[in-house]
Homo-oligomer: A and B are copies of this chain.
Amino acid sequence: MIKKDITINDVEGFKSIGIDAKLRKEKRENLALIYAKNGAIASGVFTQNVIKAAPVIYNMKNIENENIKAVIINSGNANACTGEVGYQNTEIIAKNIAKHLEIESEEVLVNSTGIIGVQLPMDKILSGIEKICTEVQNHNDKHSIARAIMTTDTKPKEIGVELELDGKKVKIAGIAKGSGMIHPNMATMLGFIVTDINITKDMLEKAFKPTIDKSFNMISVDGDTSTNDTCIILSSRKAKNKLIDKEDKNFNKFKEALEYVNIELAKMIAADGEGATKLLEVNVVNYKNEEEAKILAKSIITSNLTKAAFFGADANWGRILCAMGYSGVQFTPNTLDLYFKSGKGEIKVFENGLPIIFNEDKVKEILLEKEVIVIADFKTGEHSATAWGCDLTYDYVKINGSYRS
């Protein structure tokens, strides 16, 4: 697997574009399109929230289509809690895209992120759609789409890799936006991955869904899951590799590369959580089963007390222990070791279920880094899990406490 500056535009069968359709106050792209002229197979993972935005409901139906040709994304408005009008607007968007690109509306997926409870500014969106459909064929800024889907994100999130399957090149490229919450209302986590791998729809789904459980489902910015969370993968199947139709060696290579792409995007989201000053990684290792290891890791990463302690570079192992203790997992702490680790080194602070004396200056130096790792080693099994998050800061409160107006 080679990590390259590969964007959606570099993957055969796809064009991408982001334009400013005046949907947000900031002067930046805010309407995005992925266009697969000859169609793509797709798979998607959608929010578990009972309250689902109109485009999510729309996509959950259309994702089964064997031939997706366009994915439209607007920022600035989530089209959530907007009732029947909101759903009709989603359909109108799909129809307009279809008209301008001369495709079927069932071949369009629609995504929105931004304020909830307000109807989409359809006049601006429809003008934007006309423009974006015209310009997509000859658009040269490969990074404009990653900017267009941003809301409170402070930087665009994109990554691409290339791999070889029996000597044939296959590309994967992805973009994402953060789970932080938009001023004035909630936003969402969105991820879009494209690839040219020659694979069946079944196998694409089989590769994709487990990688979500190890990436986007293992991050937490504030524990809140939104009405619009969506991650979609598309494949143009233009690569020359032998068709993957079972879980063979090439399938595994692809899945591994996909997991890398998704984890990197997920980490970018965690590190760019609202107000965050650092990326936290939690490794629960040598535990008796993976499912519980995941629960333990996520309980630590979502604990406000732990997150606030990391903001203060405080080696507060007690909060980590406590967060595992109330996670619902029944464990015995008497084999547990805890470590803090970063670019400045690694230090053990807890051993076999008991606190130990450690060098406070050293631990402070470790915790002041921008990326900090917590290791919980249970020494009782062969399973591990990793979760990512960020610290809880003054700026988180500031951003989320501010008035909607």
Contacts and interface: CB of A to CB of B under 8 A. Distances in A.
A263 interface: no
A326 B397 contact: no
Interface stretch (A167-175, A223-231, A241-249): A223-231
B325 A355 contact: no
A120 to B, nearest CB: 14
Contact of A397 (B118, B186, B311, B325): B311
Interface string A241-268: 0000000000000000000000000000
A316 B350 CA distance: 42
Contact of A50 (B80, B317, B333, B399): B333
A400 B309 CA distance: 6
Contacts of A321: 51, 81, 116
Main secondary structure of the interface of A (DSSP, over half): loop
Given A325-B227, A405-B360, A318 B397 contact: no
Given A51-B321, A316-B184, A322-B49, A304 B400 contact: yes
Interface in A169-205: 181, 184-186
A116 B318 contact: yes
Given A224-B326, A305-B224, A325-B227, A314 B49 contact: no
Interface residues of A, number: 66
Given A396-B397, A397-B392, A355 B402 contact: no
Contact of A49 (B313, B325, B393, B400): B325
For this chain, the copies found in one complex come to 2
Contacts of A397: 308, 311, 392-394, 396-397
Contacts of A222: 304-305
Given A81-B354, A185-B319, A392-B401, A224 B304 contact: yes
B224 A309 contact: no
A83 interface: yes
A314 B401 contact: yes
A343 interface: no
A381 interface: no
Most chain B beta carbons < 10 A, residue from A311, A313, A329: A311
A236 interface: no
Interface in A37-89: 48-51, 80-83
Contact of A322 (B224, B317, B327, B331): B224
A83 B354 contact: yes
Interface of A: 48-51, 80-83, 115-118, 181, 184-186, 222-227, 303-305, 308-309, 311-319, 321-327, 329-331, 333, 350, 353-355, 360, 391-394, 396-405
14 contacts: A51-B322, A80-B318, A81-B318, A81-B353, A116-B318, A116-B321, A116-B322, A117-B317, A185-B316, A224-B303, A304-B400, A394-B397, A394-B398, A396-B397
